[in-house]
Structure 1
Amino acid sequence: MWPGVPWGSGCLVRAAHTGLSWGITVALFLHPTDLRRQEEQGELLQPLLFVSLVLCSVLLYFIVSLMDPGYVESDGDQKEAVNEEQKAMISQQVPSTVWLRRCGYCFLKQPMRAKHCQACRHCVRRYDHHCPWIENCVGERNHPLFIVYLAVQLVVLMWAMQVAWSGLNFEQSWAWLQHNALLLLSFLAIVLFTVVATLLLVSHLYLAASNTTTWEFMSRHRISYLRQCEAENPFDQGIFRNLWKFFCACRLVTWENLYSQAEGHAV
């Protein structure tokens, strides 16, 4: 169902994510936080909403982690081995000025913006990066959902931070530390994860708005189609159009055509 998904170390990473998510959630309900007080008073709306958000973030995590990020499954002449979206893409004529390179690892013809991931052992369309936290690549198919997951996760973390803080009444005593050590550790972990999630969300929204990828942004000088193009970003179509196509397009994109148009209009 999910070809090429690394199940070995991936199971450990996904188990760690799930354990941390629910472990911190349980810690917030075991200590005298706002959520615990509301639960004891029979006001269940916010506790149930918080648990639902945690569940939603975990489900999104597993979807992004396990789904096909956009694996290149065959050469352009093997149409019978690909799905309908890829058939429509292959049927479009690639501009003669654009040369498709063959991957040195899996020996498939790489569409433009694709890159071979040695961890996944696949070429990935519109490759962004291999994320060790989801143990999967972020590519053309799962990049939008990856950003949605980051946004939901950030909302959960910011809410959890406020809840954890509400249960911390600092006292300079060993007894207080013994009773609140788990909540204090949870709060510190939440702060760390909030900073990371914020940086990731902001950076990926910027990349989506400019229609570039982490790989292209970090390695422009090493990527032949960017090095040879006079346009600074041949795929940029403006912020609103970039975001619309990124989040709302339901098909794979033939980047060679867009690149050819930008190269033809380069000054």
Structure 2
Amino acid sequence: MRLRATQAGLSAGIGATLFLHPTDLRLQVEEGAWLAPLFFLGLLFSSVALYFVVSLMDPGFVHEQKKESGSKEQEIIAFPQDVPEVRLRRCGYCMLKQPMRAKHCRECRHCVRRYDHHCPWIENCVGERNHRLFVLYLAVQLAVVLWAMETAWSGLGALPSFSSFSWVWLCHNLLLLLCLLVLSVCAVVAALLLASHAYLASCNTTTWEFMSRHRISYLRHCPDEENPFDRGVFHNLWGFFCARRSVRWENLYPSAV
């Protein structure tokens, strides 16, 4: 809960700082041009809302399976070849049968479907149900951060030279300078994460599979460049962003692996 409060506090604090100093956004408000300031505030609120949604939602925890006729829980995507059923492994912690690509998270104390990683910033796992929202959150957050950096820079005005530097100028712009420092770090982190997860989504792989494939039973026997779940960039991205049901990955597992 502390990190969630920190996220909300940082967003509110940076937003207030940008409007309390003579930045472009404040000047537009004073001139009655509300469109850009309101859009910025809406984008800022959206980033905070997405953060809490991704942080608090079920990332795809594995529960006891109930066999019901006509169940729509799983979506089976046909593979262009007959694929044998894969025996599922039973988790040694929660004693449930793990679907393929699931992993037990010790922090959450659950197995997570299509496990990507446990994110300490959101205090939750990133998995099958919240991975696409996590990527959307990163994109919105990056847009907010870059806009806030440009706004903070506009509030500094002309930077003093070394000979004309004064403590009065530093004290007057200290909050904006701190905002720029925090925003710069956030921009680098958000950009790197967004780029890496976009690449992983295009390959239909996860952070866990990418980093630990030599220890994963269904990947360690594959050639280094082979991904048994890769169906092409278009289909991978379509399935990642548009699929609305769980995929039974063991039915897509090639028999040659």
Secondary structure of 1:250 counterpart: coil
- Alignment pair present for 1:132 and 2:126: no
Which residue does the alignment assign to 2:247?
Answer: 253
The equivalent residue for 1:244 is 238
Is the 1:28–1:35 Cα contact (8 Å) retained in structure 2? yes
Q: Which moved more, 1:160-169 or 1:195-204?
A: 160-169
Match of 1:163 in 2: 151
In the alignment, the residues of structure 2 paired with residue 240 and residue 18 of structure 1 have an alpha-carbon distance, to the nearest angstrom, of 36
Q: Is the 8 A contact 1:79 1:87 kept in 2?
A: no
Aligned-partner residue type, residue 191 of structure 1: S
Q: CA deviation at 1:228?
A: 2.7
SS in structure 1 at match of 2:73: helix
What amino acid is the match of 1:37? Answer: L
The alignment covers a number of residue pairs equal to 245
Q: Which 4+ runs in 1 deviate beyond 4 A?
A: none
**TM-score, normalization by structure 1:** 0.87
Q: Which of 110, 119, 123 is the matching residue for 2:111?
A: 123
The one-letter amino acid of 1:241's match is: H
Partner secondary structure for residue 178 of structure 2: helix
1:66-124 Cα distance to aligned partner (Å, 9 max, x none): 1110000114xx336xx9543667xxxxx655121010100100000000000000000
1:3 maps to which residue?
Answer: none
Aligned to 1:42: 32
Equivalence map 1:49-198=2 (5 Å): 49-75=39-65, 78-79=66-67, 84-86=71-73, 96-169=84-157, 170-171=159-160, 172-198=165-191
Contact 1:127 1:215 survives alignment (8 Å) = yes
Gaps of 5+ in 2: 77-82
- TM score, norm. by length of structure 2: 0.91
**What is the RMSD computed on CA atoms of the aligned residues?**
1.9
Q: Which has the higher contact order (CA 8 A, sep 6+)?
A: 2
Q: Secondary structure at the match of 1:79?
A: coil
**Equivalent residue letter for 1:253:** V
Flag structure 1 segments of 5+ consecutive residues without an equivalent.
1-10, 90-94
Identity within the alignment, %: 65
What is the Cα deviation at residue 50 of structure 1? 0.4
Cα distance in 1 for partners of 2:106, 2:3 equals: 18
